[in-house]
Structure 1
Amino acid sequence: MSRPFILRAFTGLVLLLTFVSPWHRDLFVGDETKYGQVVREMTTLETIAVPHLNGEPYTHKPPLHFWFVRALVTLFGTRSIWPFVLPSLLSTVALVWLTGRIAAELAGSGARPWAELVVSSFALVWGVAQSARMDSEFVLLTTAAALFLWRYLETGSRRSLLMSAGCAAIATLIKGPFAPLILVVHYTLESVRRRRRPRARDLLALPPLLLAPLLWLVPATLIAGRAWIEEIIVRQAAGRVVNAWTHGEPFWFYLTGAPAIWFPWILLLAAALVAAWREARPALRFCVLQIAATVVPFSLISSKLPVYMLPTMPAAAVLIGAFVARPDERLARFARTGNRAILLLLAVAGAVGVTSAASLTDRPEDAALLSRWEPQTLFTMMLVASIAALVWDLRGAMESTARNALALAFAFVAPMAVVVAVCMPLANEEASTAPLVRMLSKLDVSGEEIAMYYVPHLWTRNMPARLESVRQGGGDVLRSHPTPRVVVVRADKRGELGGDLLQYELTGSVRMIGKRFDVYQRR
């Protein structure tokens, strides 16, 4: 079998694994359950133009992703997880294909299968692919915008310019204005590198860049009102840039977090970045600047999360693919040595997990969780796969960067297969609202008689329809009408409900996402 065939088969396996987890899980607590509630209210309240959450206009994200999910709900039904995860899954498959296409165009056909494998096996890409979030769609569109930008700067094609701006505009309707920001910064950096002056033709990008968002924003403002648009502009856009109300981190966050963010390919990426700049190949430097166009502005923005670095990963995969296909021996030696160190660290982590994971935590419930057979199977696979990959790598040609990279990919993918096939049901019990839904299902009360305070929105595949109407409330939720018969509150927040809670009796507790939630019934 040829090496490209092996690499593509490996890539296919990585992608196939992402389609396994939805069979074993519900929406996870956090953004996923929140988005599930947004889509639910789209259906019940018919709030299509302006998504709502808890009966109020939802300002955190634009509507396009929710429109996709709502359309899929009509095909799969309201009790299926597939409408929520299919946009991410299909976008990731398309992203792998697009990354390979870019690699072939910018770095040669030899880089293509490597770029496809690398982008599919970045831990962050692989994990987000299985989520009910919009990040995969956003990355697909920003990557397409970068490809068309390259073609425009190379050929002057107006069509490429309009396509680049159009992709960024659609991405804006999925996750907000950071797509145009990345594109403009990339255009600026590349123009400086080329010593290219701005031209009047460049302004043709503005109409599509602005028109698509405005086609939604203007009528939505007329529907939702001035307070809604002020919330979007002042708090959601400007607030995240200059004064984060959530996810605030120092400017060096992405530098110190790089090993985890670009895992497991961080050392090959470092070598590939240096090699690309040394070679002075315009196409590869374009990819370097594509990474910088995300890292630099997002480091200056107050709000930070690892997932914000997803747009860098297709360009990183192209650079790594080009490097593995034609390695600089000195840099390759550094990368191979570092990758072997990563394999050794993974083996050590697996060994610690097998022998003493429970002793690493002071919380009895966490110790019991780590001692279960599912995590122990994962730790065992980490140990075995890492040692096997290291031995296989060392038994081959010591100077083979390709063999070394393939060993690293195997050591990552094998444990991930255990995660989706073995650990996902356990993860679902810990990270979804299934335990709470089961408890509430046993109570003879309607959803309108249940109030929740600091509790995630409910969503499971087998949730009774009556629980869709539970009430989320603030500190006065117990005084709302009708008076709740059942109250669910996060344990560390029950003091905020004051004396009103004295009228209720604690009847049970559940654990979700490592926190305790108490269920009270009216005396």
Structure 2
Amino acid sequence: MASAAPHPAPPSRGEREQSSDRRNFWLLAFFAILILSVGIGLRDPWPSDEPRYTLAAKQMVESGDWLFPHRGVELYADKPPMLMWLEAASFEVVRSWRVAFILPSILAALGTLWCIYDLGQRLWNPRVGRYAALGALMCIQFVFQAKRAQIDPLVVFFITAANWGLLRHLLCGPDWRLYWFGCFCAGLGVITKGVGFLAVLMLLPYVWAVLRRWDGIAAIDNGKWWRWLLGLVFLLLAIDLWLIPMLLAARAHASDPVYAAYVHNILFKQTAHRYANAWHHIHGPFFYLPLMVYNWLPLSLTYPGTLPRWWQALKAKDARILLPLGWIVLVFLFFSASGGKRDVYILPIVPMLALITAPYLDEMLAKRWLRWLGAIFLLLIGSCMLGLGIYALATHPAFATKLAYDRGFEGPADSLWWMCIVIGAAQWLALAIFRLRRVHCAVAGGMFALWMVWGLWGYPLLNDSSSSVGLMDRVAAHVGPHDDIGLVDWKEQNMLMLDRHATDFGFSTPTSQQFMLGVQWQAAAPATRWLFVQEPAMGQCVDRSKAIDVGHANRRDWWLFKADAVIPNCIPKNSDEAPEPEDAAS
């Protein structure tokens, strides 16, 4: 008689924990992808920065010149081309600018979350890794920027990837390949926004920890000192991937002073000069302190608990806390020392902040003070959004009308206020479902509802006015299919959203000069050439009765006219104004 087949052994506790960790990781990944990507394809680039970079990427694809970004006929030298390269490459893959322009930011944010998840699980355990990723994902500014096609999500990723490589080597190593990889990523950060080198500041608290014999430092043989110097080689190698071809191409155009000006601008004016002698966004030395509280909500709610715990970890000589925390302090001091400050400059701090907060979250979530702070946070957001929506629907206040006019919003105004009501009600509902005992789940649910409503409702509702697609559709409706359009005193979204090729006469060129060049261009074929002009640029040189008022958008009035509306020999003297600084709202 055949013996019965033996029953398989039940999984061990370790196998069950590994299976649970894998399942929780993929649930986290799904949650992150959903929050970051919701609404993709439902909007076009919005000012101020998004149309600028997407226009440069679009011109790269159309012209084949990927080395020198353009804004119309001018070279665009305010930022290195990394983001524009990635947007153009994304378009070559997906063939849709509505998807391609935002894809690099979403992928960069996902990469950032993976880096801190991996560090958390290696330095502590998988639960800490999940908490680290969720901490960043719950940070309002981190997600808001990740859903914008700006340079900041990309530079945050390269800096975090560099920190990942360095910390893997310094705390989990030695692993010289990861150290060199981290330095290479820092170089990629430099050709993204210039400040990527900040990642290597991680070496300063490391040196301190080695000299003071802190716990947790990897046993690295420093006898072969040249391996440390190879990090500089890899950093410079990444920079040279762009710098050397750019300099060689500029030298090939030595007869054109425009290229020499481009090199000087991007290598000197937009880097050291901009840091040491900032000419806009001037703020005091304590500008960032309040921003680190309300911009980083709800992650910043943990400060009362993490600050004393960090201090205890430092007294215990825990290098896992010292290195990221020391780096955070150095980056904060670096940006605080410059007169020019914007809230996004310190965004690279968030991933490391989430990483060193995560080990203490379990303990803090068991405390009533943090649960009460989470509940108050949801109640405040919910109350403010509900109050604003109900008040606007009931009274139709003047500020709401002015806001809609300034932004050129022509959709149903009530939809905006209903959207606020839904967001506010979702915060209250999340708190009612999970209550105080599981308030961390309520916070996650409230943030999830916020981004879902914003992506699926806010994007399509506001897109026509925010992107200028509605304005440029009206322009196209007034001109013939074979007519030409010239742009004077224009913004990037105007050229980007137009349904045909447009002629421009410079972007930073004085507007009176743009106007005169446009009039000359128009006079060469008056029957088929139109000028699209911002109203101040026209001065008294255009007969408004013969021009077409195409509307108010992005806080500006726009006109369209043919040659018969131009007053001969008139120069709009009142239109010469300094171009708006980079990163200004438009």
Give the shorter-chain TM-score range: 0.7 to 0.9
Map of 1:15-30 to 2, 5 A cutoff? Answer: 15-30=33-48
Q: Is the 8 A contact 1:111 1:321 kept in 2?
A: yes
Q: Which residue of the partner structure matches residue 307 of structure 1?
A: 344
Q: CA deviation at 1:340?
A: 2.3
- Provide the rounded CA distance (Å) in 2 between the counterparts of 1:276 and 1:8: 30
- Provide the rounded CA distance (Å) in 1 between the counterparts of 2:436 and 2:336: 42
- Provide the rounded CA distance (Å) in 1 between the counterparts of 2:40 and 2:71: 24
1:513 aligns with 2:554: yes
1:318 aligns with 2:334: no
Q: Which residue of the partner structure matches residue 417 of structure 1?
A: 452
Q: Which residue type is aligned with residue 207 of structure 2?
A: S
1:186 aligns with 2:225: no
Give the TM-score, by structure 1 length. 0.87
Q: Which residue of the partner structure matches residue 260 of structure 1?
A: 294
Gaps of 5+ in 1: 397-402
- Provide the rounded CA distance (Å) in 2 between the counterparts of 1:171 and 1:405: 34
Q: Is the 8 A contact 1:118 1:265 kept in 2?
A: yes
Which segment drifts farther, 242-251 or 103-112? 242-251
Q: Which residue of the partner structure matches residue 8 of structure 2?
A: none
1:125 aligns with 2:142: yes
Q: Which residue of the partner structure matches residue 255 of structure 2?
A: none
- Provide the rounded CA distance (Å) in 1 between the counterparts of 2:46 and 2:188: 26
Q: How has the CA–CA distance of structure 1 residues 391 and 179 changed in structure 2, closer, same or farther, with 3 Å as cutoff?
A: same
Q: CA deviation at 1:136?
A: 2.3
Percent identity (aligned) = 22
Q: How has the CA–CA distance of structure 1 residues 115 and 157 changed in structure 2, closer, same or farther, with 3 Å as cutoff?
A: closer
Q: Is the 8 A contact 1:259 1:266 kept in 2?
A: yes
Q: Is the 8 A contact 1:287 1:315 kept in 2?
A: yes
Q: Which residue type is aligned with residue 30 of structure 2?
A: G
Q: Which residue type is aligned with residue 192 of structure 1?
A: W
Map of 1:234-313 to 2, 5 A cutoff? Answer: 234-280=268-314, 281-313=318-350
Q: Is the 8 A contact 1:84 1:132 kept in 2?
A: yes
Q: Which residue of the partner structure matches residue 381 of structure 2?
A: 346
Q: Is the 8 A contact 1:267 1:335 kept in 2?
A: yes
1:73 aligns with 2:73: no
Q: Which residue of the partner structure matches residue 487 of structure 1?
A: 531
Aligned pairs, number: 507
- Provide the rounded CA distance (Å) in 1 between the counterparts of 2:125 and 2:483: 59
- Aligned to 1:29, what secondary structure does the other structure show? coil
Q: Which residue of the partner structure matches residue 208 of structure 1?
A: 234
- Provide the rounded CA distance (Å) in 2 between the counterparts of 1:196 and 1:279: 14
Which segment drifts farther, 434-443 or 117-126? 117-126
- Aligned to 2:80, what secondary structure does the other structure show? coil
Q: Which residue of the partner structure matches residue 185 of structure 2?
A: 167
- Aligned to 2:102, what secondary structure does the other structure show? helix
CA deviation digits over 1:178-231, x for unaligned, max 9? 111x12333223323443799664322111111221342133123234322211
Q: How has the CA–CA distance of structure 1 residues 306 and 100 changed in structure 2, closer, same or farther, with 3 Å as cutoff?
A: same
- Provide the rounded CA distance (Å) in 1 between the counterparts of 2:134 and 2:283: 31
1:221 aligns with 2:247: yes
Q: Which residue type is aligned with residue 488 of structure 1?
A: F
- Provide the rounded CA distance (Å) in 1 between the counterparts of 2:32 and 2:244: 42
Q: Which residue type is aligned with residue 318 of structure 1?
A: L
Which segment drifts farther, 408-417 or 444-453? 444-453
Q: Is the 8 A contact 1:24 1:424 kept in 2?
A: yes
Q: How has the CA–CA distance of structure 1 residues 60 and 414 changed in structure 2, closer, same or farther, with 3 Å as cutoff?
A: same
Q: How has the CA–CA distance of structure 1 residues 348 and 500 changed in structure 2, closer, same or farther, with 3 Å as cutoff?
A: same
Q: CA deviation at 1:81?
A: 1.8
Q: How has the CA–CA distance of structure 1 residues 436 and 371 changed in structure 2, closer, same or farther, with 3 Å as cutoff?
A: closer
Q: Is the 8 A contact 1:429 1:512 kept in 2?
A: no
Q: Which residue type is aligned with residue 211 of structure 1?
A: L
Q: Which residue type is aligned with residue 345 of structure 1?
A: L
2:31 to 13, 17, 20: 13
- Provide the rounded CA distance (Å) in 2 between the counterparts of 1:394 and 1:4: 28
Q: Which residue of the partner structure matches residue 442 of structure 1?
A: 477
Q: CA deviation at 1:65?
A: 2.5
Q: Which residue type is aligned with residue 532 of structure 2?
A: V
Q: Which residue type is aligned with residue 39 of structure 1?
A: A
- Superposition RMSD on alpha carbons, in Å? 3.1
CA deviation digits over 1:388-408, x for unaligned, max 9? 333345453xxxxxx232222
Q: Which residue of the partner structure matches residue 137 of structure 1?
A: 154
Q: Is the 8 A contact 2:73 2:505 kept in 1?
A: no
- Provide the rounded CA distance (Å) in 1 between the counterparts of 2:126 and 2:21: 13
Q: Which residue type is aligned with residue 342 of structure 2?
A: L
CA deviation digits over 1:280-326, x for unaligned, max 9? 33212322223223322112123322222221121122223212133
- Aligned to 2:541, what secondary structure does the other structure show? helix
Q: Is the 8 A contact 1:7 1:117 kept in 2?
A: no
Q: How has the CA–CA distance of structure 1 residues 337 and 20 changed in structure 2, closer, same or farther, with 3 Å as cutoff?
A: closer
CA deviation digits over 1:21-64, x for unaligned, max 9? 22211111221111122122213333222222222322122123
Q: Which residue of the partner structure matches residue 415 of structure 2?
A: 374
Q: Which residue type is aligned with residue 350 of structure 2?
A: M
Q: Which residue of the partner structure matches residue 400 of structure 1?
A: none
Q: How has the CA–CA distance of structure 1 residues 447 and 119 changed in structure 2, closer, same or farther, with 3 Å as cutoff?
A: farther
Q: CA deviation at 1:241?
A: 0.6
Q: How has the CA–CA distance of structure 1 residues 362 and 503 changed in structure 2, closer, same or farther, with 3 Å as cutoff?
A: closer
Q: Which residue type is aligned with residue 267 of structure 1?
A: L
Q: Which residue of the partner structure matches residue 426 of structure 1?
A: 461
Q: Is the 8 A contact 1:149 1:160 kept in 2?
A: yes
Q: How has the CA–CA distance of structure 1 residues 295 and 430 changed in structure 2, closer, same or farther, with 3 Å as cutoff?
A: farther
Q: Which residue type is aligned with residue 152 of structure 1?
A: H
Map of 1:457-472 to 2, 5 A cutoff? Answer: 457-458=493-494, 463-464=498-499, 466-472=500-506
Q: How has the CA–CA distance of structure 1 residues 189 and 514 changed in structure 2, closer, same or farther, with 3 Å as cutoff?
A: farther
- Provide the rounded CA distance (Å) in 2 between the counterparts of 1:2 and 1:158: 32
Q: CA deviation at 1:4?
A: 8.9
Q: Is the 8 A contact 2:145 2:152 kept in 1?
A: yes
Q: How has the CA–CA distance of structure 1 residues 72 and 381 changed in structure 2, closer, same or farther, with 3 Å as cutoff?
A: same
Q: How has the CA–CA distance of structure 1 residues 448 and 244 changed in structure 2, closer, same or farther, with 3 Å as cutoff?
A: farther
Map of 1:105-120 to 2, 5 A cutoff? Answer: 105-120=122-137
1:387 aligns with 2:408: no
1:452 aligns with 2:496: no
Q: How has the CA–CA distance of structure 1 residues 326 and 129 changed in structure 2, closer, same or farther, with 3 Å as cutoff?
A: same
- Provide the rounded CA distance (Å) in 1 between the counterparts of 2:336 and 2:263: 26
Q: Which residue type is aligned with residue 137 of structure 1?
A: L
CA deviation digits over 1:145-199, x for unaligned, max 9? 11221233234433232111111112222222x111x123332233234437996
Q: Which residue type is aligned with residue 102 of structure 2?
A: V
- Provide the rounded CA distance (Å) in 1 between the counterparts of 2:304 and 2:266: 37
- Provide the rounded CA distance (Å) in 1 between the counterparts of 2:542 and 2:304: 56
Q: Is the 8 A contact 2:88 2:100 kept in 1?
A: yes
- Provide the rounded CA distance (Å) in 2 between the counterparts of 1:347 and 1:215: 49
- Provide the rounded CA distance (Å) in 2 between the counterparts of 1:438 and 1:472: 23
